[in-house]
Structure 1
Amino acid sequence: MSIRDLARHLDISIGTVSRALNGKADVNPETRERVLEAAKQLGYVPNQSGRSLRQGTTNTIGFMIESTIETVDNGGSFFMPVFEGVQSVFRRHHLDLVALLCGTDEDPASYLNRVVARRFVDGLIISATARSDPRIDFLLERKIPFVALGRSATKGDYPWIDLDFEGVASQAVQRLAGFGHRRIAIGTPASDINLGYLFLDGYRRALADHGIAFDPELVLPANGNEEGGYQVACALLAQNPMPTAIILVNENMAIGLYRRLHEAGIQPGRDIAVIGFRESTQSRFLSPTLTCFRISLRDLGIKLAEALLATLPAFASQYPREKVALIWPMELVPGESDGPMPSSAA
């Protein structure tokens, strides 16, 4: 069904139908209602390509995700609630959200360059920010509207929202130190993603605040999935003496960690304290229950969408431009996986 077919069906000029569909004030209200009702019944959908050429916009926002072990294993449980929050805002403005998946075999900066060159999005949300992220320089240089899910050391005036990785590490150390633990290990990302640096910085500062010396041997890099957690547990068991507590940067790591500890006859919460990162569906089914942190991912998505719209001139009246540099709060959810240091370790 084209606009020409719709006009012929209604016996109205194409121009009148077009103005009615676009909400122009010079169209009689009865005519507009008649056009909209017929379009709905007959399944008319505007030609987006033609409209984009005329208006110079696509009404589409891209959300760039890098395909890594973490996103493949954990992407659904993390990104889907974020997408829902983003789309709940965009839906009100008739904007579409598209996920842009950058494969493991492609450089993220090159992938983004190609996306921008094709001009099929009006703005971007980027994630998995690196310590030094050339994508940010690229987008700033070309004045492409964007918001970053994650901090970076790359300088510039751009909006970003990040999870409180430093705060989580700090609260975890404080909780464990309060239980008497001194040998506290930490499972960090094996990649160069910036969140790993933030997590480690928060851990080191919290140790210093509690008079605990930093031991690099207790920093255990691994992939943020079940296999990575299994490897972290192997590294724990190989140390003598074994650390009495472990903080994980990814909740899925706890599943593999539990498996390896169980094989060794070691029980979390009794023989070693374990604190995970984010409360997830999987973590709720661990036994003993995992001490971790709760976050509203849908609300995070809503804030990302609003921050992005504030960078688009078409929405300036509804979303005034503001400096968004927000660390998203996370709430401790006590479980049974941590507690006082075992008397045998003391």
Structure 2
Amino acid sequence: MKGIKRLAQHLDISIGTVSRALNGKPDVNEETRKRVLDAAAKLGYAPNQAGRSLRRGTTNAIGFMIETNEETEANSDNFFLGVIAGLTGALLRHNLDLVVLPCSVNEDPHDYLQRIVARRLVDAVIISATQREDRRIDLLKAAHVPFIALGRTGGPDEHAWIDLDFEGVAHEAVARLVARGHKQIAVAIPDTDINLGYVFRDAFIDALARHGLTVDPSFIIRARSSEHGGYTIGNAILAMEDRPTAVVLVYEMMAIGLYRRLNEAGLTPGQDLAIVGFREGPQSQFLSPALTCFRMSLRDLGIGLAEGLLATMPDYADLYPAGPMHKLWPMELVEGESDGMVIDR
């Protein structure tokens, strides 16, 4: 209390206002909150977080559960780093910390999260890599833990979620390829039960149907969501007697492996096989010919996740729109040369 009293005297504001500002309460305006936080840093004030958490029964920490394995670590990109940057910035406004919860692909995500919930390590959770049937949803609901999902499941999804606009990507990619005369179009999706693979496959089939085309089952290629997976996709296409003339990818690192396999076979992306990649990643920007793919703001996605989660937490619900957030995150086309191959009609 002495530290708070000193801060209040220094700023000439009430002890209650200082306390509410330090605790991220919504009834303190941003200018006052900033003055308090700046003064606390200048005067070397560090609140006893452990004592505060015990009194309030909270941790002031948000958990972000992500899936990890040796392959994704070796072929890492900036996706989660970009999202985390947006998350931490948005949570900082409320004096909340972000804790990354890495779950090994060799462990059941439900069991991992169950341990986290039982130990009360965080006040709320962001889950990712949602499955078609994701038991973590029922776990969090039963435990009354606020949460938001990065990704949809195959169910009604009445909880808060944000997902990338896979449907929009699939339809725009197919429309571009059809306009260039392609009728034999393949799609590459993850070889796991992650729901985005089903969403993208269904959207791809629907997009073909809108142009009067049907999907060849052999053109639905399942592979790892990695550079190695892209190399495998190249092998699968090269082994086909009746090859597709174009392929749409659902993961950014796949393009790197596919380019490599085509180059080894003496083929050129955009000339011998039209390619539409997924998200523009750091590595894909150096591919030649330039990859046609889609762009998005990872930082803004992180901010959206933070705000969607805060809306589910009683202490912050008044600051954000009522009701669980259901949002498809838009992605913008980046025109390259990898889909420049034109087929005579």
* TM-score bracket for the superposition, by shorter chain length: 0.7 to 0.9
Structure 1 pair 279/52, CA: closer, same or farther in 2 (3 Å)?
same
Q: Is the 8 A contact 1:59 1:121 kept in 2?
A: yes
2:297 counterpart residue number: 296
1:332 Cα deviation after fit:
1.1
Q: Is the 8 A contact 1:294 1:330 kept in 2?
A: yes
Structure 1 pair 38/123, CA: closer, same or farther in 2 (3 Å)?
closer
Structure 1 pair 69/224, CA: closer, same or farther in 2 (3 Å)?
farther
Secondary structure of 2:222 counterpart: strand
Question: What are the equivalent positions in structure 2 for 1:221-260 lying under 5 Å apart?
Answer: 221-260=222-261
Cα distance in structure 2, aligned partners of 1:37 and 1:323? 33
Cα distance in structure 1, aligned partners of 2:251 and 2:218? 19
Note if 1:174 corresponds to 2:171: no
1:106 Cα deviation after fit:
1.3
Q: Is the 8 A contact 2:272 2:341 kept in 1?
A: no
Please list the CA deviations of residues 229-264 of structure 1 after superposition, one character each: whole Å capped at 9, or x if unmatched.
011001100011221101111111111111110111
1:316 Cα deviation after fit:
2.3
Secondary structure of 2:93 counterpart: helix
The size of the alignment, in residue pairs, is: 326
1:58 Cα deviation after fit:
1.1
Cα distance in structure 2, aligned partners of 1:36 and 1:89? 15
Secondary structure of 2:188 counterpart: strand
Q: Is the 8 A contact 1:109 1:134 kept in 2?
A: yes
Question: What are the equivalent positions in structure 2 for 1:197-208 lying under 5 Å apart?
Answer: 197-208=198-209
Please list the CA deviations of residues 117-155 of structure 1 after superposition, one character each: whole Å capped at 9, or x if unmatched.
111211111000000000001111222100000001234
Please list the CA deviations of residues 85-125 of structure 1 after superposition, one character each: whole Å capped at 9, or x if unmatched.
11111111111011000112211000100101111211111
Structure 1 pair 36/167, CA: closer, same or farther in 2 (3 Å)?
closer
Cα distance in structure 2, aligned partners of 1:341 and 1:112? 49
Secondary structure of 1:93 counterpart: coil
Q: Is the 8 A contact 1:268 1:274 kept in 2?
A: yes
2:161 counterpart residue number: 160
Please list the CA deviations of residues 14-51 of structure 1 after superposition, one character each: whole Å capped at 9, or x if unmatched.
xxx98686259xxxxxxxxxx98996456342221111
Question: What are the equivalent positions in structure 2 for 1:89-100 lying under 5 Å apart?
Answer: 89-100=90-101
Q: 1:22 aligns with which of 7, 12, 19?
A: 19
1:292 Cα deviation after fit:
0.2
Q: TM-score, normalised by structure 1?
A: 0.87
Q: Is the 8 A contact 2:175 2:207 kept in 1?
A: yes
Question: What are the equivalent positions in structure 2 for 1:2-41 lying under 5 Å apart?
Answer: 22=19, 40=41
Structure 1 pair 173/201, CA: closer, same or farther in 2 (3 Å)?
same
Cα distance in structure 2, aligned partners of 1:258 and 1:97? 37
Q: Is the 8 A contact 1:244 1:271 kept in 2?
A: yes
Cα distance in structure 2, aligned partners of 1:38 and 1:216? 64
1:53 counterpart residue number: 54
Cα distance in structure 2, aligned partners of 1:178 and 1:52? 59
1:130 counterpart residue number: 131
Structure 1 pair 103/160, CA: closer, same or farther in 2 (3 Å)?
same
Q: Is the 8 A contact 2:161 2:326 kept in 1?
A: yes
Structure 1 pair 50/338, CA: closer, same or farther in 2 (3 Å)?
same
Please list the CA deviations of residues 297-336 of structure 1 after superposition, one character each: whole Å capped at 9, or x if unmatched.
1111111100111111111221242231111111111100
The residue identity in structure 1 corresponding to 2:317 is A
Cα distance in structure 2, aligned partners of 1:69 and 1:277? 22
Q: Is the 8 A contact 2:311 2:321 kept in 1?
A: yes
Secondary structure of 1:167 counterpart: helix
The residue identity in structure 2 corresponding to 1:146 is F
1:139 counterpart residue number: 140
Structure 1 pair 53/272, CA: closer, same or farther in 2 (3 Å)?
same
Structure 1 vs Structure 2 CA RMSD:
2.5
Q: Is the 8 A contact 2:66 2:100 kept in 1?
A: yes
Question: What runs of 5+ residues in structure 2 fail to find an aligned partner?
Answer: 22-35
Cα distance in structure 1, aligned partners of 2:334 and 2:69? 28
